[in-house]
Amino acid sequence: MLKEVIISGFGGQGSLLIGQVLAMAGVVEDKNATYRPTYGFEKRGGIAFCDVILSDEEIGSPVVEEPEAVIIMDERSFKRFEPLVKKGGVMFYNTSLVTSKPSRDDIKYYEVPCNDMAQEMGSDKVANMIMLGAYIGYSKAVAMDSVEAGLKEKLGHGKEKAIPLNRKALEAGAAISNK
Amino acid sequence: MSEMLYERTKFLTDKPTHYCPGCTHGLEHKLVGEVLEELGIIDRTIMIISVGCSAPAYDYANLDSIACLHGRAPATATGVRAALPDSILYLHQGDGDLLSIGLDETISAASRGENITVVFANNNIYGMTGGQMAATTLIGQKATTCPRGRDPKLDGYPMKACEMINTLTAPKFIAREALYDIPHINKCKKALKKAFQNQKEGKGYSFVEILSTCPTNWHMSPQASMEHVKNEMEEVYPLGVFRDED
Amino acid sequence: MKKLMKGNEAFAEAAMQAGCRCYFGYPITPQNEVPEYISWRMRDLGGVFKQAESEVASVNMVYGSAAAGVRSMTSSSGLGIALMQEGITNLCSTEIPCVFLNVSRGGPGLGTIQCSQADYNQMTRGGGNGDYYLPTYAPATMQEACDLIQKAFDTADKYRNPVGVMVDATIGNMMESVDIVENKAPDPSIPDKKEWCLQGGQRPDGSFARVKGLFNVPAESEEFVEYLGRKYDKIEKNEVMVDITDCDDADVVIVAYGTTARIAKQTIKFGKEAGIKIGMVRPQTVWPFPYAETKKACSHAKGVLCAEMAIGQLLQDVKIALEGTKPITQYHRLSGVMPSAKDMFKLCEKIAKEGK
């Protein structure tokens, strides 16, 4: 199995966090995983994307040049990464913020209104987890339990109370792509 | 027929700033811009930019600007002053730049009485690099490099810039202000105006420390950050004019 | 008009005669006469001298005045230059021209205050970070130093890059007659600085000056560094200076620069007396190094003597130049113990017979 994903948003949306969680989930399942972040120097609002690779084999280059899946949290990322998706690949995009419309007919698109859904759930902070859930639901790259385990490790001690809401967000996202 | 009551200062470009929600850098630039316009000196002002969250400030300023190495803004300003005697130099520095890596340059330029205006955005933390402890971090305050809170036995006590500069002979104007409500914003603007007025008149070194916020790295909301300045920071860093000499 | 002067003072005068109007520096032996001389002389010419609080501050003050379009310089030695490395890379990344005078002393660390050539690597390999080069002149005499420091300002302005002039402490502290060109006008090919320098106020086209070297977008940074690379290629192509003497039919070629080369002239004389043909390749720019010229000049000799006041620094460039075509013998004296013309001659005798 080989999954090459790019997750991109602006600084503060948690694009890098879900990349790390995805990589950790892969490690939970004994897969090889790499996570490579790229970010600007702004604390908020700058470029923020990561390359995540999950593989049964040893991973060579950690740079994903032609992603088969792309997860987009903002407009700037949509414009940047839509052209790079591999033919036959898939793009998840945050319709709460992205105004551009799909322009390719050789890849699959999923509309995920993460911020709106997160607000309905009562916390803006889980928008990124909804998006991750959508990807997991589609790709089945890892089990949802593994993602939860990865998240637990990422959040660390004392943050267990946040887990149920995050799990709910993951499931809500998965429901969109499972359809 | 409508009348223009308030216009944005022409100091600021149209580019939205990258500063975090609740950060006071933007307000500080705005106040400086208004002051420079009111004093009629904006056309000869050069912005001396330091390393920190304000590093890309040249994108926000309709001014000639120069980005300096970390801590070296007062030295670079000294060079610019030597080359352009009639220019107005606006330095904007954070904690690390002014009091750690640049402490020598800060004190030396002040001691030489360089005719510059230094605006010090003191937010008790390193913003751009992700929230490490600063020379001005409060005792007990948590930061990524003092996760259990600042311990004086390990890292000493907060450094107070105004008080330190006030021991030197040359500086002409030293003040510390805050921005947590309208009266304080007005006082701050007044201090900035005096500081730049001094430079315009060739009087010498002027220093304005502004108790600033960093909601992102303090892990507080913008409102809570302002409360923190008023309730906790001001206790350690008293406001007021320390020196106003002719 | 020829005048007997001390090296450091002559270089300072030459710099000011080439239009240097801002100097910032910090005392360090063996170059203290430079700031001392400038501290009184600069005022006559309407410029600014300031003693900075450190070498770190000095290079940053130069950054400010040079960014405002004024010909500016600083001077230091050895570990003082080491402190300036961040400043040098910053000047390269912001394309601000200025001149660094290095009156080199023994190292590493505090070393000695005596002369050496152990800053070769620091000047040519970069002690600072990133892809940059500091074009560096390496004069051998006081006169040449005065001429090259004046040229350095032109080179810096031409390419919008800092430029180094490296003399060892011997050249800095000795006295000799020099004829300094007065009121030397800048090279007419240098573009108008007002296109990029700080002035205060909007330019006619509505823009403002932006002096900066930090990039936030990888592609933009790559584009800029590639552009710098092309600039350094241009400098390598056009600015090499080398003095080649008697190499056409030489048995031995000495490669040396600065005071070592001057001493080696005596070695060549010994050779003439003994019937041994000794030639010399004397780089006058150590970056860009005369690689092709050195290889060609050494092509007839049996062997090459690389002589310097350092352990194997110039040697690296000689190896690169020769590409393994000739055996190289190394000779060095260090930390103020001067190279001996006689000892170098003994080595040349051996090389002339056995190649090394």
Find out whether C163 and C155 touch, Cβ atoms under 8 Å.
Answer: yes
Residue C181 has pLDDT above 90, yes or no: yes
- Per-residue pLDDT tens, chain A, 179 aa: give them: 999 999 999 999 999 999 999 999 999 999 999 999 988 888 888 889 999 999 999 888 899 999 999 999 999 999 999 999 999 999 999 999 999 999 999 999 999 999 999 999 999 999 999 999 999 999 999 999 999 999 999 888 888 999 999 999 999 999 999 87
CB atoms within 10 A of CB A178: 13
Q: Helices C33-44 & C7-17, crossing angle to 10 degrees?
A: 30
Residues whose CB is less than 8 angstroms from the CB of residue C59 and which lie 6 or more positions away in sequence, other chains included? C74, C83, C84, C86, C87, C88, C91
The pLDDT, as a whole number, for residue A179 is 72
- Those chains having 3 or more beta-carbon pairs within 8 angstroms of chain C are A, B
**Domain C3-178 and domain C243-354 have a common topology:** yes
The pLDDT, as a whole number, for residue C136 is 98
Structure token digits, residue A168: 């709910």
ipTM of this predicted complex? 0.83
Please give the CATH number for the structural domain made up of C243-354. Answer: 3.40.50.920
Find out whether C122 and C80 touch, Cβ atoms under 8 Å.
Answer: no
pLDDT in tens, C90-108: 999 999 999 999 999 999 9
B65 touching C (Cβ < 8 Å): yes
The pLDDT, as a whole number, for residue B188 is 98
The pLDDT, as a whole number, for residue C143 is 96
CB atoms within 10 A of CB C249: 9
Euclidean distance between CA atoms A92 and A110, whole angstroms:
5
Q: Which residues of C291-329 are buried (b: 16+ CB within 10 A; e: fewer)?
A: bebbbebbeebbbbbbbbbbeebbbebbeebbeeebebb
Q: What are the domain boundaries of chain B?
A: 20-238
Mean pLDDT (chain C, rounded): 95
Q: Nearest CB to C198: which of B56, B62, B80?
A: B80
Euclidean distance between CA atoms A31 and A2, whole angstroms:
10
CATH fold of C3-178 reads: Rossmann fold (3.40.50)
Establish whether the linkage from the previous residue to C108 is cis, with ω within 30° of 0.
yes
Residues of B in contact with C208 (CB under 8 A): 61-65
pLDDT in tens, C36-65: 999 999 989 999 999 999 999 999 999 999
pLDDT in tens, B167-193: 999 999 999 999 999 999 999 999 999
C216 to chain A: nearest residue by CA?
A40
Mean pLDDT (chain B, rounded): 96
**Rounded to the nearest 5°, which phi and psi values hold at B206?**
-130, 140
Average of per-residue pLDDT across C76-97: 97
CA distance B72 to chain A (A): 20
The pLDDT, as a whole number, for residue C274 is 96
CA distance B45 to chain C (A): 5
Q: Nearest CB to B69: which of C24, C54, C60?
A: C60
Pick the CATH number of B20-238 from 3.40.50.720, 3.10.580.10, 3.40.50.970, 3.40.50.1450: 3.40.50.970
**3-state SS string for B138-172:** CECCCECCECCCECHHHHCCCCCHHHHHCCCCCCC
pTM of the model: 0.88
The pLDDT, as a whole number, for residue C202 is 87
Using 50, 70 and 90 to split pLDDT, how confident is the model at C2? confident
Q: What are the domain boundaries of chain C?
A: 3-178, 243-354
CA distance C194 to chain B (A): 12
pLDDT in tens, B4-42: 999 899 999 999 999 999 999 999 999 999 999 999 999
pLDDT in tens, C143-155: 999 999 999 999 9
pLDDT in tens, B103-113: 999 999 999 99
Using 50, 70 and 90 to split pLDDT, how confident is the model at C347? very high
| DSSP code of residue C55 | H
The pLDDT, as a whole number, for residue C355 is 85
Q: What's the CA angle centered on B56, arms A6 and C22, to 5 degrees? A: 140
C68 touching B (Cβ < 8 Å): yes
pLDDT in tens, C275-310: 999 999 999 999 999 999 999 999 999 999 999 999
Residue C13 has pLDDT above 90, yes or no: yes
Residues of B in contact with C193 (CB under 8 A): none
Average of per-residue pLDDT across B126-139: 93
Euclidean distance between CA atoms B32 and A12, whole angstroms:
29
Strand partners, A51: A6, A36
pLDDT in tens, B136-177: 999 999 999 898 999 999 999 999 999 999 999 999 999 999
CB contact under 8 A, C216 and A41: yes
Give all strands of the β-sheet with C285-287 in edge-to-edge order. Answer: C48-51, C22-25, C72-76, C98-104, C162-168, C136-137, C285-287
Stretch 174-213 of chain C: residues touching chain B, C-beta under 8 Å: 198-202, 208-213
Find out whether C277 and C247 touch, Cβ atoms under 8 Å.
Answer: no
Structure token digits, residue B18: 């990258």
Euclidean distance between CA atoms A123 and A81, whole angstroms:
28
Q: For an interface test with C, give the residue of B76, B112, B114, B196 to mutate (most C CBs within 10 A).
A: B76
CB contact under 8 A, A40 and C217: yes
The pLDDT, as a whole number, for residue C319 is 98
Domains and CATH numbers, chain A: 2-177 (3.40.920.10)
Query: CA torsion B99→B101→B105→B106, rounded to 10°?
Result: -10
CB contact under 8 A, A41 and B127: no
Using 50, 70 and 90 to split pLDDT, how confident is the model at C207? very high
Residue C1 has pLDDT above 80, yes or no: no
Euclidean distance between CA atoms C316 and C290, whole angstroms:
13
Euclidean distance between CA atoms C22 and B73, whole angstroms:
17
Q: Nearest CB to B79: which of C53, C64, C212?
A: C64
Q: What's the CA angle centered on A144, arms A142 and A145, to 5 degrees? A: 105
Euclidean distance between CA atoms A15 and C156, whole angstroms:
45
Nearest Cα residue to A24 out of A179, A151, A173, A166? A151
The pLDDT, as a whole number, for residue C201 is 86
CA distance A35 to chain C (A): 18
Residue C174 has pLDDT above 80, yes or no: yes
